[in-house]
Structure 1
Amino acid sequence: MPKFGANAGASHSNKLAMIMILLASIVVSNKATATPSYSIHQMISIAAEQNPLINVYKAREDAASASVVTARTFANPEFELQGGPTRYRTPGGQGANGSWVMGITQPLDYPSVRNAKIDVAENNIAVASLSTEVTKRDLITRVKSAFYDVLQREAFLGLAEADYKLLKDIRDRVKLRVEVGESPKYELIKANTEALAAERDFQSAKTRVLEGKSYLRGLVGAAIPEDFTLVGELPVSNSLPKIDTLREQMNDSPQLKQIRAAIKTSEANLRLQDELRNPGLSLKAGVEQDPDLRQFRIGVAIPIPVWDKRSGPIAYAAAELKEAQAVLSERELTIQRDVESAYQRYLIAQQQLSAFEDGLLEQAESVLKVAEAAYRFGERGILDYLDAQRTKRAVRKDYLSARYEYINAMLTIERLLGYELLEVKPQ
């Protein structure tokens, strides 16, 4: 018997050890498969490094830099060698197979043509660099907007979930009151309808959160797993400078700088096309060997613009320059219009937030509490209580929408002006 008890104790200890090992493995597995969380700073950093569109524009910068090397490179010389038999047509001449011609030619651009080529290539670098900057700034603002949009949708989801749980509870209480005969049956029908509508809104809000996360992941890159969470909140405490200050900063917009760089490129290209009517010359040197004579020659070949005066390329380059100047004028008007429009939306959203925070939210909450108390004491029916609940829900949703519109208007101006208004600090 004692021996049997010892074996039982050992078996019990082994079982305990196995259970502890199993629990530890479950904890480790849960930690390994925990859903990763990202802040907005992390999202922006990953997008800037891995977004394919940024890599496309960086490759264009490399190509523009390579074009400068091409513009500075001299053309290769040409070596020529010919040989063959010689036959004299005059009496007494001796035929031979030792005649040959050897020559070398070096094409050279005029300095004005060479400088124009280099100017075009260097201006293309500026255009490519500013294109990357504009694209990166646009990507950052889009990531910010998508990040805050997900936070907004999650706030809607939390609101919808709370409403759904509350209306389910109300429905259960109404059902009980109907069953004991304290309330008419139509109150249960109304409560059922409201609960079903809340469930529909809850499921829709869940889908919208997944949709927003999918769009954000598409902006950032494939490094983000499909299942992730976000850490942060809407920076509604930020504010914009006055509109006059924003107007003064429009000329520094990277979009306008990019177009101005493109204009300089077009001007350099127009000069290049004009200079290419007489691009340069070719230096020639050679030796001609006859059976009885060796001749050394040196010379120069210059193209003469008789037939092709490059009228077409020059006209095409001039048209490109006019187009770039027109695009600049149009873009200046567009940026001014969009900045002022976004600023008005910002002011409207700011006023709405103030109205909500200064009383509307509290009033809706107070009305709901009064209606709930009146319903509990039998002074009001279920319809009044549900109407108060619906009013509070609508006010809360409008408040959340105003918060996002406030941030989105600031992000629009940030993208247009090209500098950070909603500063993101590492967390």
Structure 2
Amino acid sequence: MHRKFVIVLIPIQLWCMAVIGACAYAQAPNSDTLKVNIKQVEEQFLKNNLTLIAQKYNIDNASAQIITARLFPNPDFNFQNGILNDTHDAYKNQSVGISQLFTTAGKRNKNIQLAKIGVEQAKDQFFDLIRTLKFTLRTDFYTIYYNQQSAKVYDQEIGSLSKTLTAFKEQYAKGNIAQKEVLRIQSQLYSLQAEYNGLVTDIDTTQSELKMLIKASPNSYIVPVVDADLNSKESVTSIPYGKLLDSAYVNRYDLKNARATVDYNNMNLQLQKATAVPDVNLSLGYDKYGSFNNNYVGGGIEFNLPFFNRNQGGIKQARIAIDQSKVQLENQQNQIAMDLATSYKGALRLEKLYNSFDPAFKGDFTHLIQEVYKNYQLRNISLLEFIDFYDSFKTNTIQLNSIQLSKITSLEQLNYVTGTPFFNQQ
């Protein structure tokens, strides 16, 4: 009688806890739940991210260098008043002078051009930072979503087994079931709890990173809203490989910065050559009593004679910097081509793997579990067989979530490598 009671009671408990467990994760004690889609997350990121705000100041700082480069040198003024000489009117011996430095060989214009290139470099660095952080943002968003889906499966099974274990312990104490059945459920429960804890830790870590990116409250809990058909809508082959590569060469801001560095070094070479040309200092002076006649007015010109120092070292360093930046530019281009080839092959493999799964697999497997549950109610299968089936359901569901996440992440990698949002645009 007791065994019959247990057989009837356990399925009821399993069914109830399956329903309760499915909702438990979503109802975790977080007062500030943020349900957001990818577009909303990106808007918050561009608006609130402190790293971007700090980096943007570099553009303003570089722009200020243009103002400095455009300024002319200030004139020099000097005034002297006599203190002591052989006359009684020493204090009336006064002289005044003014001089102005004039740069030659277009140094001022070259400095302005260098400052303008510096602004472009600051902008390139800013937009490349956006590209890098946005890749992290989007992969975190999808990672949280699919891990939360997997956590619900764990939550459901743990809730069911916890109640079942309690009931079995009570029946074991009454001598209605064997100890091995209790230990089997207990072992399965502990294993699931350990896996679940690791998964929740990963979710919390990713949540923390995402919240930092969008400057969300530390007490908030992000629940990503994702189009269920997102994976089926995207195909790697929808964009020709040549177009991906061309886009990377045109739109990657780190590559633009490498090109700007070559331009900067070329302009710097011109400036270093111009530095070898002496600047001219023109002056005008007035002396009341101190010259060979009273009220003397004179003019002058001053410049150094480039006999020894013609800035040979600076010119050589500038030429070396040009060669170095050209090599670095070529290396950057090769790295982009290599990264794209690797990412493209990986995306093709993951798409092939994803497409090999029957779209109806998840629904069919869910239906199978329901049939297994009915057979367990009819005592056609044992509790351990039921647990094995349910564990298989959990494993396959989590694997499917992992494959879906990998496919989406591979497309995000292509967006990152090309510097262009080709994929996963909801």
Corresponding residue for residue 63 of structure 1: 61
Instruction: Note closer, same or farther for the CA distance 1:109–1:357 as it changes in structure 2 (3 Å cut).
Output: farther
Q: In the aligned structure 1, how far is the partner of 2:274 from the partner of 2:234?
A: 54
Q: Residue 296 of structure 1 corresponds to which residue in structure 2?
A: 297
CA contact (8 A) 2:33 2:222 kept: yes
The residue type paired with residue 262 of structure 1 is T
Map 1:14-413 to 2 at 5 A: 35-84=33-82, 96-97=89-90, 98-168=92-162, 171=165, 184-221=178-215, 223-233=216-226, 235-236=230-231, 237-240=233-236, 241-252=239-250, 253-290=252-289, 292-358=293-359, 360-361=361-362, 364-365=365-366, 368=369, 372=373, 375-413=376-414
Aligned AA (2:203)? V
Distance 2:175 2:353 in 1: 45
Runs of 5+ unmatched residues, structure 1: 1-32, 89-93
1:81 match: secondary structure? strand
Aligned residues: 387
**How many Å apart are 1:326 and its aligned residue?**
2.1
- C-alpha separation between the residues in 1 aligned to 2:69 and 2:368? 76
Q: Given that residues 412 and 424 in structure 2 are in contact (C-alpha distance below 8 angstroms), is that contact kept between their aligned partners in structure 1?
A: no
Q: Encode CA deviations 1:290-315: one digit per residue, 9 max, x unaligned.
A: 26422221222122223332233223
Tell me, in whole angstroms, the C-alpha distance in 2 between the residues paired with 1:404 and 1:35.
23
Return the alpha-carbon distance in structure 2 between the equivalents of residues 42 and 110 of structure 1: 55
Q: Shift of the alpha carbon at 1:251?
A: 1.0
Mark the CA change 1:231 to 1:87 in structure 2 (over 3 Å): closer, same or farther: closer
Distance 1:205 1:412, change over 3 A: same
Q: Is the 8 A contact 1:104 1:285 kept in 2?
A: yes
Identity %: 18
Distance 1:360 1:173, change over 3 A: farther
Asked if the contact 1:255/1:416 (under 8 Å) is kept, the reply is no
Question: d(CA) in 1 for partners of 2:172 and 2:106?
Answer: 96
Q: Which amino acid aligns with 2:198?
A: S
CA distance in 1, matches of 2:171, 2:358: 37
C-alpha distance in 1, partners of 2:84/2:112?
48
- Bigger shift: residues 67-76 or 346-355: 346-355
| Cα-to-partner distance string for 1:166-208 (whole Å, 9 max, x where unaligned) | 3345546766887898865423321221122223333333333
Aligned-pair distance for 1:414? 1.4
More moved, 370-379 vs 342-351: 370-379
- Amino acid aligned to 1:393: K
Distance 1:283 1:388 in 2: 95
State the Cα deviation string for residues 126-145 of structure 1 (Å, max 9, x = none).
Answer: 11111111111222222111
Q: Relative contact order (alpha carbons < 8 A, sep ≥ 6): 1 or 2 greater? A: 2
Deviation at 1:210, TM superposition (A): 2.2
Matches within 5 A, 1:1-12: none
Tell me if structure 2 keeps the 8 A contact 1:120–1:268.
yes
TM (normalized to structure 1)? 0.81
What is the alpha-carbon root mean square deviation over aligned residues?
2.9
How far apart in 2 are the matches of 1:145 and 1:73?
47
Once the two structures are superposed, residues 199-245 of structure 1 have per-residue CA deviations (whole angstroms, 9 ceiling, x without a partner) of 33333333332222111112222x53422332411632333323232
Tell me the CA shift for residue 113 of structure 1.
Answer: 1.2
Segment of structure 1 superposing worse, 253-262 or 287-296: 287-296
Q: Deviations over 1:72-94 (max 9, x none)?
A: 11000001112326868xxxxx7
- State the distance in 1 between where 2:169 and 2:81 align: 112
SS of the counterpart of 2:82?
A: strand
Contact 2:94 2:287 in 1 (8 A): yes
Question: Could you tell me how far 1:118 is from its partner in structure 2?
Answer: 1.1
Q: Which residue of 2 aligns with 1:23?
A: none
Distance (whole Å) between structure 2 residues aligned to residue 374 and residue 34 of structure 1:
42
Which of 41-50 and 332-341 deviates more?
A: 41-50
Q: Which amino acid in structure 1 is aligned with residue 344 of structure 2?
A: Y
Q: Is the 8 A contact 2:346 2:410 kept in 1?
A: yes
Distance in 2, Cα, partners of 1:371 & 1:279: 93
Change (3 A) 1:182 1:372: farther
CA distance in structure 2 between the aligned counterparts of 1:349 and 1:174, rounded to whole angstroms: 43
Q: CA deviation at 1:424?
A: 5.0
